[in-house]
Amino acid sequence: MAYTFDRAAYERRTAWYTQARFGLFLHWGLYAIPARGEWVRSYENIPSEAYDPYAQEFNPRDCDMHTWMEAARDAGMKYAVLTAKHHDGFCLYDSTYTDFKSTNTPAGRDFVREFLDAARDCGLRAGLYFSLIDWRHHDFPHYGDRYHPMRDNPAYGNENRNFDRYLEYLHNQVRELCTNYGKLDLLWFDFSYDHLRGEAWKATELMEMVRSLQPDVIIDNRLEVSGEGFGSLAACQPTPFHGDFVSPEQIIPPRGLVDAEGKPLVWECNCTMNNHWGYCATDHFYKPAPMLIKKLVECVSKGGNLLLNVGPDAEGRFPKESLAILKEIGAWMKDNGESIYGCGPAGIEKPDFGRVTRKGNSLYFHLFENTIGPVPLFGVDKERIACIRRVADGSEVPLSTSWVHSDYPDLAFADLGPDPVLPDPTDTVLEVRLKP
């Protein structure tokens, strides 16, 4: 029977997500101990015999999921996603299908349960990342795979490996997560490549199982693609396992994403604060908070979300740089969040001084830099302007009547006053309310 895409159900599912706009990604696991990123096993060709012992010292005494979720909430984030299992196969939950899990370490804790409870307590939507790949499982391809740590070692040939047995393991673990932890808001699968995509994962069966257990969960598009590629929903040929949103990685699309028929797509840029997802002790190349604020605005102005990553260390602490960045973003969001939540493209050409977001009859002009003379409000009919307010404090910004823009009678201009320095040097936001 051919698959029928139910757009009404899809829009109901994703409504909270397009309202939220800003989320926290958490990459955490055993790889926090070697502290060279979450791909350390692959990059350094580390065999299981050398990697597995990290589990015997995994005991993050400082890990307090409530502290993590409070940091996310205070940064203005509305949802959070934790790596329940990454490519190394180590589970942060009490899976009955493996001994390679956090409850079998000195920590003895189910971190997925702690995370979900804390997120819900803090009023955040909660999601789980789950790797389709498992470098530790005997039946996952080793030799010749593009990414497996033992890909170049003929001693790890693929004889006697049964991929169907691996798929049974994969499906069983997803069923556990969808059954044992209450309502999940989001599932973040990662990722498809080469011949391992779509039905290679028995994706129709997997998606039907997930939907039967978690009917409202939203799911990324990586049963079909990776951080590159848009998926079947974007092609207007949705498969039964299409994703609910496109997941560009480490790049904000140059323009908003639309499907093959030109309709807007739901999407989310997932990006790191520094240059690694998992904790890397030597990576101090952090994106400054003002840059990340502007990138969040850019995503929203193009109709997308920003999922910003933190990689906690082996003791379960956020890096001090990450905490400082989240605090600075949070201060801006406290004043200006209404120009982000529930907003999207304004249908106005990007101005030289910043960007524009929109919610209903409110246009939000984001000023990343000031102008010489009053601020031109491109794309706005002067006669439709009800008022202009600075979002941070609600103060009135009058329409300019200066002679300096008399050569541009069709343009509306906002008068910010005599100070050439903007009130907020990162992003001063003006709300232009339009008459109905």
State pLDDT tens for residues 155-200.
Answer: 999 999 999 999 999 999 999 999 999 999 999 999 999 999 999 9
Note the pLDDT of residue 337. Answer: 98
d(CA 18, CA 5): 19
Dihedral sign of CA atoms 13, 15, 17, 18 in order:
positive
Q: 267-272 and 218-219: which strand pairing?
A: unpaired
Note the pLDDT of residue 1. Answer: 67
Note the pLDDT of residue 274. Answer: 98
Q: 385-390 and 428-434: which strand pairing?
A: antiparallel
Q: What is the pLDDT of residues 61-104, one digit of tens each?
A: 999 999 999 999 999 999 999 999 999 999 999 999 999 999 99
Note the pLDDT of residue 83. Answer: 98
Residue 374 has pLDDT above 80, yes or no: yes
CA 190 from centre of chain? 13
| Mean pLDDT, all residues of the chain | 98
Instruction: Find where tokens 């257990």 sit.
Output: 213
CA atoms within 13 A of residue 77's CA, in its CB half-sphere? 30
Q: Locate 90 and state its tokens.
A: 């180590």
Q: What is the pLDDT of residues 189-206, one digit of tens each?
A: 999 999 999 999 999 999
Note the pLDDT of residue 68. Answer: 98
Average of per-residue pLDDT across 115-125: 98
Burial class of residue 314 (count of CB atoms within 10 Å of its CB; 0-12, 13-18, 19+): buried
Tell me the Cα Rg of the chain: 24
pLDDT over 90 percentage in the chain: 99
Cβ pair 38, 29 in contact under 8 A: yes
With bands split at pLDDT 50, 70 and 90, how would you rate the model's confidence at 2? confident
Q: What is the pTM of this model?
A: 0.98
Q: Locate 181 and state its tokens.
A: 């932890």
